[in-house]
Amino acid sequence: MANVINSYSSIMDRYSSMISQVETGGQETSDQVSGSFEGLLSSQIEKLNGVQVQADNMIADFAAGNTDDLHQVMIAAEEASMSMELAVQIRNKIVDAYKELNNMQL
pLDDT digits (tens, 9 = 90+) for 70-96: 999 999 999 999 999 999 999 999 999
Residue 81 resides in a domain: yes
* Residue 27 forms part of a structural domain: no
What is the span of the domain harbouring residue 46?
36-106
Global pTM value: 0.62
Q: Can you give the pLDDT at residue 5?
A: 59
- CA-to-CA distance for 83 and 44, rounded, in angstroms? 10
pLDDT in tens, 16-60: 676 666 566 555 555 554 478 888 888 999 999 999 999 999 999
Sign of CA dihedral 84, 87, 93, 94: negative
Q: What is the pLDDT of residue 8?
A: 62
Q: How many domains does the chain have?
A: 1
